[in-house]
Structure 1
């Protein structure tokens, strides 16, 4: 493969650049209160930023795989950050966005297809799986930086609430992804260290792991424990429950914004 071909495979997709531009413009609209409907601006800002994070999640898997020995990821378009190029566009992009709209949960995306037989070493396999959710962790740290740095002076309330809700999505996605459940990245981290017999026994359940997790989340007691863990992490990063609540209230603008949030400082 020529150097020119490799560069073309890693050229950032116009689709990703367009989504990033939407994030920047709508973020500016939320910050300046330029939009006629603050809720719509928050909705577009958080949704586009969430899609950006999903693209970066999948890119992290692919980039780590490339440096671990799978040179096929470039030809598949994974290094272009184009959400349309991923193996499971439905799982990677569409379903996560729908779950955010419906329930405010950061659904883990479907991993890109990695040719594992090209990769040597258990640590490399584990790192490839961990790279995606670690990107969500990094995204959460960036979103919460104004909070834990105590740098909120001058930050408009609506923008602060939007960041808080976006951070909730990143934290929930990271926690879900790191669960050691077949089909999720957390299982991919530990799988190289399991015996052959254990892996063979678990393999048939991998396609249903994500469905099993979300079925459990519909159980009120499990849901409460999960979001208590998410809220605990967010509080550690300087975000209180009211800020995430107001962020989600603004995001779901079609339900009508909470009056208390509208007048909160």
Structure 2
């Protein structure tokens, strides 16, 4: 049996994926924790989550899913909205901070890849080192774009669902919380079965190339 057939990525790319994944998850969860802290919620900080240490944020199942399905999740940062003076504003901003941080990270690494290539610095390196750097950058860009899109999907417990939950009226929010466990169950079915290909496949196959191409369009005239 070929073990590599179970993975979304070739075995030789696993180290690059792990590095990109650790960075993406750490920045994503730190963004949640920091934004909540700035709005007055010390919960995540008190639990040691206000850090860029990826080991604090990694979730075993969510990490495995990256390798099996191409998308995954980290351990959610605890947020206590009772600390917020204006939960209608703070709540959505805390939720969207994670995905936005992934998009910013993808944009930054796209910029530096353009810079390294455009200034000819990659040409001064050995072919092996240049290829390794290129692979690391491309995986960081790709995974961060994937996490940006994935986390904005309106399924619990993803950030997209939390944003909707924070914006709807209180009575609707109460109903969403009541039925949230069923939404999580549905999400897990889609995530771990081939059914997910029919739901997530078209989204990622369209949105990821679109955002990646858009970043290139924005950056190419500047370099």
Whether contact under 8 Å (2:20, 2:143) holds in the other structure is no
Whether contact under 8 Å (1:53, 1:136) holds in the other structure is yes
The change in CA–CA distance for 1:208 and 1:167 in structure 2 (over 3 A counts) is farther
**Is 1:116 the equivalent of 2:93?**
no
Give the C-alpha shift of residue 235 in structure 1: 2.2
Q: Which residue number corresponds to residue 245 of structure 1?
A: none
Any idea what SS the aligned residue of 1:108 has?
coil
Q: Deviations over 1:141-189 (max 9, x none)?
A: 1222245558354262343233223322111111111123332111222
The change in CA–CA distance for 1:233 and 1:80 in structure 2 (over 3 A counts) is closer
Q: Which residue number corresponds to residue 167 of structure 1?
A: 141
**Is 1:231 the equivalent of 2:209?**
yes
The change in CA–CA distance for 1:225 and 1:189 in structure 2 (over 3 A counts) is same
Give the C-alpha shift of residue 103 in structure 1: 3.1
Whether contact under 8 Å (1:69, 1:119) holds in the other structure is yes
Q: Which residue number corresponds to residue 8 of structure 1?
A: none
> May I ask how many residue pairs the two structures share in their alignment?
195
Q: Which residue number corresponds to residue 3 of structure 2?
A: none
Q: Which residue number corresponds to residue 27 of structure 1?
A: none
RMSD over aligned Cα atoms: 2.9
Q: Deviations over 1:167-224 (max 9, x none)?
A: 2211111111112333211122232221122112211343454553464463344344
Q: Which residue number corresponds to residue 46 of structure 1?
A: 17
Give the Cα separation in 2 of the matches to 1:84 and 1:171. Answer: 21
Give the C-alpha shift of residue 58 in structure 1: 1.1
TM superposition score normalised by structure 2: 0.73
Any idea what SS the aligned residue of 2:216 has?
coil
Q: Deviations over 1:89-146 (max 9, x none)?
A: xxx43223212222332x1324211121111211111111111111111111122224
